[in-house]
């Protein structure tokens, strides 16, 4: 990992931060409705709570400001990226790097990735022409059975790499494999998979 690298990921109501100074991963719960679909929904509350988070873990930036890499999901638009970049510059980070989580996937024609959280899920795959596709959908609109049916139609016989914050993710995987011909791989570090993958790069 590059020196002085702080890595952040937002999902459901949580901040996940790997702190270079503390040399550890931190999971921090935010109040409801501060985040929506992995994006900042309330900027004032986010700033206030992030400052509280920094104070609690003694993460106050040095005089020159720290660098931070923010891993964002594929649904981020340019406006979303500009917003989160400006927020962290206001929090005194001198350099903000944005990385799309799809860059951390090893996508090919025989696999797909499912980032399954409690509020939303993202599935990503390559089509026949090697064009990348990624969709973010709110879980409130889909039962588990509907998610399985939708994915099986889109990704067909591809193997699936599954991670995320979803409660009872292991049970979902068992149901998925029982109802489809797909093989599903998961990770011991389901919640921090993206940060760990980037950190080890």
Residues 32 and 61 occupy one common structural domain: yes
Are residue 94 and residue 116 in the same domain, yes or no?
no
pLDDT category, 3, cuts 50, 70, 90?
low
- CATH code, domain carrying 22: 3.30.420.40
Q: Are residues 89 and 22 in the same domain?
A: yes
Which percentage of the chain shows pLDDT scores above 90?
A: 83
Tell me, what DSSP letter sits at residue 103?
G
Residue 54 to residue 91: CA distance in whole angstroms: 10
Helical H segments across the chain, by residue range: 43-56, 78-90, 144-155, 169-179, 193-200
Q: CB–CB of 114/123 below 8 Å?
A: yes
Q: Does pLDDT of 64 surpass 90?
A: no
Overall domain count for the chain: 2
Domain that holds residue 147: 103-191
Is residue 168 over pLDDT 80?
Answer: yes
Nearest to residue 104, comparing CAs of 96, 95, 113, 116? 113
Residue 102 class from Cβ within 10 Å (0-12 exposed, 13-18 middle, 19+ buried)? middle
* Interval 33-49 mean pLDDT: 97
pTM: predicted TM-score of the whole model, two decimal places = 0.93
């Amino acid at each position: 990992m590059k020196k002085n690298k702080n890595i952040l990921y937002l999902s459901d109501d949580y901040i996940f931060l790997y702190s270079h100074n503390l040399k550890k991963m931190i999971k921090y719960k935010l109040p409801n409705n501060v985040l929506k679909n992995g994006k900042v929904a309330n900027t004032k509350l986010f700033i206030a709570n992030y400052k509280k988070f920094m104070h609690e873990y003694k993460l106050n930036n040095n005089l020159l400001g720290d660098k931070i890499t923010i891993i964002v999901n594929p649904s981020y638009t340019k406006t979303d990226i500009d917003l989160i970049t400006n927020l962290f510059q206001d929090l005194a980070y001198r350099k903000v790097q944005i990385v799309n989580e799809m860059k951390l996937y090893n996508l090919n024609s025989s696999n797909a990735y499912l980032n399954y959280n409690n509020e939303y899920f993202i599935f990503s795959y390559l089509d026949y022409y090697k064009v990348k596709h990624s969709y973010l959908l709110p879980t409130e609109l889909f039962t588990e059975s509907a998610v399985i049916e939708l994915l099986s139609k889109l990704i067909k016989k591809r193997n699936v790499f599954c991670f995320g914050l979803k409660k009872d993710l292991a049970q979902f995987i068992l149901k998925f494999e029982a109802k489809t011909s797909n093989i599903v791989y998961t990770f011991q570090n389901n919640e921090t998979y993206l940060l760990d993958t980037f950190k080890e790069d």
